[in-house]
Chains A and B, each alone.
Chain A
Amino acid sequence: MKLQRLTLENFRQFYGRQEIIFATAKGKNVTVIHAENGFGKTALLNALLWGFYGSKSLTSDLEKKDNLLTDCVREQSKTPEDDVALVRITFEQEVDNGVELYTLTRKLSLLQERSDPSKTTLDLDHQQIDGQTLTFSGGEAQKLIDSLLPSAVAPFLFFDGEGIDHLAMEKNADKVREAVHQMLGLELLLKAINDLTHQSVRGVIQKELRDNTDSETQLLIDRREKLLQECVEIKRRLDQARLNEEACAREVAAIDANLRANQEARELQERRGQLEDEQIRVQDQLQEATRRLAALIADDGYAMLSEDIIARARQIVDRMRAEGKIPARILNDFIEDLLRSEKCICGCELKEGTSHYISVRNLLTIAGDQHFNNSVGALDNALGVMSGAIPRARASLKQLSNDRASSRVRLMQINEELADIHTKLDGKDDAHVHQLETKRAEHLENQRRHHGDQRVHERDLEQRNSLIEGLDREISQSKQKEESAARAQSRLNLLDESTSLLKEMLAFETEDLRKELGGEITKHFDRVKIKPDHWLELTPEFTLQLKKWSAPKVETIVAPSKGERQVMALVFIASLVALAKRRSDIPTVLKGLDGVEYPVVMDSPFGAFGVDFRSGVAKWIPQLASQVIMLVSSTQYRGEVDDALSESGRVGRRYLLVYNAPTKKEEARESITIRGKKLKQFFENDLEHTEIKEIELN
């Protein structure tokens, strides 16, 4: 997108019809608008915002937000329905095979301003590539504008340079993440997640399930739903605790680097590093020994506790063997077969009641059982195995117990030595070391707390998931007989699985883009060349950190000054714009995400910069985006800034805001000198207003 033209009519101090044509050429992409403070820079920035998004987007520093019509028009109006404030913006949008043109016109009549200034009229003409023009108005027009330039992105493209220093700091992380999602097309995934989980979708399916089940199952479903909601909240807390722990770990690492770089603390810090490495190793060993011990007790623990029983069983088996009971000399199955067949092996008949029959039947009292024979054989074998396991298990138990004890002793020694190092470092005379050590202890404590929180959340999550699994089984058993309920359950499962997949995809895509954005940030920060030994890093929480090497291989986080923060924010914006431009080249699961060019409009971009930054930033600013519009005061636009921008040859158009009023503001000057040319910027006039004048400088 490139802004072509801005037309104002009776908007704020811009009386009558005024116009700016923006520089759009590739090699002349910068438009500079010079203005003394109070002459209309902020009003001009707000004219663009109001044009695109209406009154909700006006900046906080704009006074009397409800008064959008020029004062003199308001005061002299006789037909309030006909007197209007108007902003017209013409912009072009590149499409596959050319450029399409859009012209938006937002108006507010004095009559409407008096009743509700937030209600404006909006029209949008869309001139398509084939020359056909489509006209939209009201909500339809706003939808189209939002699709071309999402409102969440606006604060990153239209901004007050002096107020952006907190842009990429911690408190704005959510806004930054949202802008990244919006600018790079991921809000589509976010909206799909929100819609799938919306009451009008999931709630409806959930109700279908409830309506088709008996009251007992409904209770189970309600309980399951409640547990699911709790899981979402616990997962959120778990993720937050994980991020917090990582952030603390980074802080500790940065402090460690600082301590290693410090002459006073180096030796102790290096020893601490060794000890902490060893601590991790010994903790792992202790954990492994404990795991093996648990396995040993589970597998062979019975053998060590069964020694007496094994000995007694052995005695019984031996006695029976000695008595000739095992193995049995004659089996009862054999005797029973003879009696059934009524014939003995000697050939005699075995008729019931005969002496032969009685003699053979009496043999049953001494006959053994085949199953008993087999069982005693197996028992005999098992007793042998168990007896063999006892000494082996005892030896392993002893070894593992010794390992655990020595690991515990070593851990205790390490902890004592670490505590000793902390005391020594904390007690150093060097205030810097003392301060670092105190901070380190705080971060370490927080890190442990967040780590502990994670374990708690993980356990809670596990508990609930297991309850949900149990409920799932109960629910499916109780309602499978009802076809409609089964169908609703299957739909609900499909919804939940799809939502989980979308969430996973969003997390992966966001992280991939964060890395790409980090690459752009490094590139742009190098281009500004304000701090050659520093670099910028984008953390997983989407905040920027300024870092430097405090010693070889030792990186330190630097607390940035206001000027540095402002540069960081500009670099961040430039990187975001650059990433949006090459969006189509970045692999993604979403198809059809085209690269988009965005303009950048900055009020007072050199606000808080010292002399050391001005030149570097001014040289780099033309590369910040494919179109750059700067609103600058004379105090900011001077010397090295003027030289750097002029030398770049990228300034395509310049304008001067000329102020007319009965009396000049005390701090304002009558004229301004730009590139050696003196220009009058104040005129005495009974009618207070600002004029936009194009200036030609060669």
Chain B
Amino acid sequence: MPEPSNSQSLTRSQRAFKSARTEVRALVRDVLVEERRVRHMKRRDDIFSKILQLVRTSAR
């Protein structure tokens, strides 16, 4: 997810993302990257452990 820069041309969701605190932004961005990788998988065990790892790294 790109870091939105120009506040005038931002969509509402981009503005919401931008105004979140840094840790939340980072986690959301990383989770979406992981979700993209497993987008169409039926078994989702890997994504769960991956997200857990991301959360644990983000808030030590």
Distance in Å: Cβ of A508 to nearest Cβ of chain B: 4
Contact of A491 among B20, B28, B35, B59 (CB under 8 A): B59
Task: Evaluate contact between B60 and A494: CB separation under 8 angstroms.
Answer: no
A-facing residues in B1-56 (Cβ within 8 Å): 1-2, 4, 9, 11-14, 16-17, 20-21, 23-24, 27-28, 31-32, 35-36, 39-42, 44-45, 47-49, 51-52, 55-56
Task: Evaluate contact between B41 and A494: CB separation under 8 angstroms.
Answer: no
Task: Evaluate contact between B11 and A591: CB separation under 8 angstroms.
Answer: no
Write out, one digit per residue, whether chain A residues 501-533 have a CB within 8 A of any chain B CB (1) or not (0): 110111011011000000000000000000000
Contact of B31 among A144, A497, A498, A589 (CB under 8 A): A498
- Across the two chains, which residue of chain A brings its CB closest to B27? A498
Q: How many A-B residue pairs have CB under 8 A?
A: 102
Write out, one digit per residue, whether chain A residues 484-508 have a CB within 8 A of any chain B CB (1) or not (0): 0001001101110110011011101
Known: A147-B39, A188-B35, A497-B21. A589 touches B51 (CB 8 A): no
Is A674 interfacial (CB 8 A cutoff)? no
Known: A188-B36, A498-B28, A501-B24. A195 touches B44 (CB 8 A): yes
- CB contacts (< 8 Å) of A504 on chain B: these are 13, 16
Task: Evaluate contact between A505 and B16: CB separation under 8 angstroms.
Answer: yes
- CB contacts (< 8 Å) of A506 on chain B: these are 13
Is A146 interfacial (CB 8 A cutoff)? yes
Is A139 interfacial (CB 8 A cutoff)? yes
Task: Evaluate contact between A512 and B59: CB separation under 8 angstroms.
Answer: no
Q: Cα distance A494–B32 when bound, in Å?
A: 15
Known: A195-B35, A205-B55, A487-B60. A501 touches B40 (CB 8 A): no
Distance in Å: Cβ of B57 to nearest Cβ of chain A: 10
- CB contacts (< 8 Å) of A377 on chain B: these are none
Known: A188-B35, A509-B13. A591 touches B48 (CB 8 A): no
Q: Cα distance A589–B55 when bound, in Å?
A: 21
Is A191 interfacial (CB 8 A cutoff)? yes
Distance in Å: Cβ of B15 to nearest Cβ of chain A: 8
Q: Cα distance A143–B13 when bound, in Å?
A: 29
Task: Return 23 A-B CB contacts under 8 Å, by A number.
Answer: A143-B40, A143-B42, A146-B40, A150-B40, A188-B39, A189-B32, A192-B28, A192-B31, A192-B32, A200-B48, A200-B49, A200-B52, A204-B52, A493-B59, A494-B58, A494-B59, A495-B27, A497-B24, A498-B31, A512-B11, A588-B11, A589-B17, A592-B36
CB-CB nearest 5 A-B residue pairs:
A200-B48, A508-B13, A508-B12, A505-B13, A589-B13
